Every structure is written in C-alpha cells, then in structure tokens.
Amino acid sequence: MHVGKTVFAQVMDFIPMHEFHRCVHRYDGSYKVQSFSCWDHFLCMAFAQLTYRESLRDIEVCLRTQQSKLYHMGLRSTVSRSTLSYANTTRTWRIYADFAQVLIATAKELYRDDELGVELTNTVYALDSTTIDLCLSLFPWAHFRTHKAGVKLHTLLNLRGNIPSFLRISEGIVHDVNILDTVVPEPGSVYVMDRAYVDFERLHTLTQVFAYFVTRAKTNLQFKRLYSHTVDKTLGTLCDQTIQLTGFYSAQHYPDKLRRIKHHDAQTDKTFVFLTNNFLLPSPTIAQLYKCRWQIELFFKWMKQHLRIKAFYGTSENAVKTQIWIAVSVYALIAIIKKRLKLDHSLYTILQILSISLFEKEPLPQALTSIEPHTDNFSPDNQMNLFTL
C-alpha cells in the first residue's frame, strides 16, 4: 500500500515553485499576508477546477471533510469561504496570469514536435475569441450588450498540441480585431483567423515582420486580378489568383500584393474564398490550414465543458479573471503531465480520473494508467441466446 503523497500533491509537484514565488514577489502578493498565502489560494482554486466545485461553500465543505489530509495536499491554512472570497477579490489576478504563462511556455516546448496534420514546418497559430455571458446586475463592470454583461477570452492557440500561446480577457464589448494590436507576431509563423480579423492595416503589420496569415475574404472585397495560377480542380481549388486591393482605404493600408484562393470543400459542399500573403504553399495546403482553425473552437468547447469558467465564485473583475487564469493554468498543467508521463489518454480522461482520486495515496502514474479495458460486447455467462436453434 502506498503511504506517500496524495494524488493532488503529486500533481502539484509538476509546478515550478520558484517560478510561482517569483510571480508572487513581482506583485507583492505576500504583503501583510499572515495565514492564507497565495500558494494556498492557488491550491484551493486548482482543487475547485479539478473537481468541478460549484461554489465557495462547496469548496469549503469538501476540503474540511478531508481536514486530516490537507497538510499532505500542501494546504497549510484552514479553508473558509470568507477567506477565499477575500483573496479572490483583493489579490491581483496578474500573479496567476503570469504563472499561467510560465506553464504555457513549458507545455509549448513539450509539444513542439507534435504532428500538425499538415506537412508544414512552420509554427501555426489560430486566433479567435469566445464570449462568456454574465448577469448584468451581478457583473455591471463587464460591458457587452444593453441588457447583458459578458467577458471575452481572446486566445492565440498553438495548433501543435493545442496549447494557448496568448490569452487576453476583455469586456465583451471589445471587438476581436483590436487584439491584433497586442499580439507580438513571430517571423515565419502562420496565423489563421476568420473574417472578424480582416483589417488590412493590421494584416500588413504581419507582412512587414515576415509572418504569414490565412483568413477568409469578405464578400465586399474590392480588388483587381493581376494574374492567375494553374490549379488542379480535382483537389477542390477553383482559382488561385494574385490580386491588388483597389478600395480607397484598403489599398492605402495594404499596398502589397495578396493571394486569393477559391476552394470548394466536397465534405460540406461549401465554397470558401481565402486571403493570404503566403505565395509559396500549394493552394490545397492553404485550405487545410484554415480547416485546422476548427481546433480553437474545440479548445473553447473543452474549456467551457470541463473547467469552471462559465459560473464564477465572485462577482468582481479581479475574482473573474483570477478564476479564468487558474483554469488556464490547470489546463496547461494537465497537458504537461500527459506529456511527461507519456500517457495515451485524452486530457478529458486524465481530468476525470483526477477528479475522483485527488485524496488517494497512490502513485500518480499508476492512478492515471490503471484503467480496465472497455468491452462493448460483454454478456453474462448465464444469459441465454434467444435465437439459439
């Protein structure tokens, strides 16, 4: 019988403590803190994410029923909902945002050589946002609609491993295209975006730093065709053109040439028109890159379904951002554990196993790998066959 650390403590062992303390020190997170430290705060919120707790009272009750095990989980303070609520409101969310970036950098390095699904050596990012609806009377600071509040989670997702490289939490009223001003482009990388990010002045900035973009053209795009390239229509490409923008403002903001590709997807029976500044990749590859953008939609769906970012433990802006950033940290932490332990299970499976075994004292690799094989065609030995002749 294993009498060592709990599963929860073993999960937290993957966290670089010196980096966490550096983030706390950067924002004076320990100033006048006597008992409930930033680390205790992070552990409680991470526990809530891993076990999908519904409220602060829920967190308090679950942890207090396991009082004898809290010390072995790393918690050095008594957990109460009032203390946790005060910490969510007063301790700056920037501590946990910076620490999430540390875990993201670690996960990005681990997944650097993962398959992309497209024969390409460049780093490929998908840029998009998701809106989290909130109650206007409880969250009046989160401006969105006249009768509804909300926040947006803007994400730049590295498609190798689906690791978020950049995240920004804003009010719901902020338009997606404004986030391009805060993204630092990497030369040689490919940025895949939908039509909400078509702003030629900002897209030209990507071209100037030798980064590539793939997006969809708007229906009112004004351009002139300079020449057409030979295409293989059996692969779905209807046309591959080099164009020049002719709109009054668009021509000023993007004076360089662009590539316009019209592609028909046989699976959905839909036709798409893509714009890109990459003239080297084959046109079917451009279409495949845009199809990979769907991974960021799956990422948002996974986060909303399996982590606690739709209902919040506090109503202040600081509490909301703290909870979201710790949820992102938990996502990156699970991804790190999956890679370092060389697990074949999905992140969902790992999260479900952890949710019911955090208090167990069992080696983490054993806890995450001891799954009985699933048999679909199981039948009891005493079950008679109705159609036996």
CA 33 from centre of chain: 32
Looking at residues 348-362, what average pLDDT do you find?
A: 91
Domains of the chain with bracketed CATH: 7-95+313-369 (no CATH), 195-292 (3.30.1370)
Does residue 259 surpass a pLDDT of 60? yes
Its pTM stands at 0.89
Q: pLDDT by residue (tens digit) across 301-321?
A: 999 999 999 999 999 999 999
Q: Are 172 and 115 in contact (CB under 8 A)?
A: no
Does residue 373 surpass a pLDDT of 50? no
3-state class (DSSP) for residue 262: strand
Looking at residues 376-380, what average pLDDT do you find?
A: 48
Distance between CA atoms of 159 and 122, rounded to whole angstroms? 11
Per DSSP bridges, beta strands 190-193 and 163-171 are unpaired
3-state class (DSSP) for residue 77: coil
Q: pLDDT by residue (tens digit) across 12-69?
A: 999 999 999 999 999 999 888 888 999 999 999 999 999 999 999 999 999 988 888 8
Run of H or E residues at 40: helix 38-51
Q: Are 211 and 185 in contact (CB under 8 A)?
A: yes
Model pLDDT, residue 389: 41
Confidence label for 1 from pLDDT (cuts 50, 70 and 90) = very low
Distance between CA atoms of 115 and 92, rounded to whole angstroms? 37
CA 386 from centre of chain: 51
Q: pLDDT by residue (tens digit) across 329-350?
A: 999 999 999 999 999 999 999 9
Q: Identify the bridge partners of residue 262 per DSSP, sorted by sequence position.
A: 239, 273
What are the phi and psi torsion angles at 224 (to 5°)?
-125, 140
- Look up residue 355 and give its amino acid: S
Confidence label for 76 from pLDDT (cuts 50, 70 and 90) = confident
